[in-house]
Amino acid sequence: MARKFLKRDSSPILAAAENWIRTCLIEDRSVFLADSRWTAPLVDEVFRAFVEHPDFGDDDFMTKLKGQMKNASAPAQQLIARNAVGASSFSVKHEGDNEAPPDTRNLGTVRTVCS
């Protein structure tokens, strides 16, 4: 594979991709965190906060999600934030829909939302 393209060195990008493949796909870890968010206790905590306490109000999804998760631990908030970002990445946009994707940067104490 070419490491130089139009006089640009792509080695750092390829090294980052190799690190991501090894860390995330092979070792099943996160490139951002030392510990996993996909643990049974955290999934149970998210389930209790989100699924067992639905918000049927008129607020938008992110406002309701923040309210449901406000008392959850930071790791549980990070887990749900990553999934909210993932879901918003694949949402279907309808003609005339100008709504921006959900902002998960301020979901509780979450600062890093992608792994």
CA-to-CA separations, 83 to 3, 95, 97, 104, in angstroms, rounded: 34, 25, 22, 10
| pLDDT one-digit tens code per residue, 12-63 | 889 999 998 998 888 877 777 777 788 899 999 999 999 999 999 999 888 9
What pTM does this model have?
A: 0.54
What's the one-letter identity of residue 101?
A: P
Could you tell me the pLDDT band of residue 111, with boundaries at 50, 70 and 90? Answer: very low
CA-to-CA separations, 68 to 8, 27, 86, in angstroms, rounded: 47, 32, 19
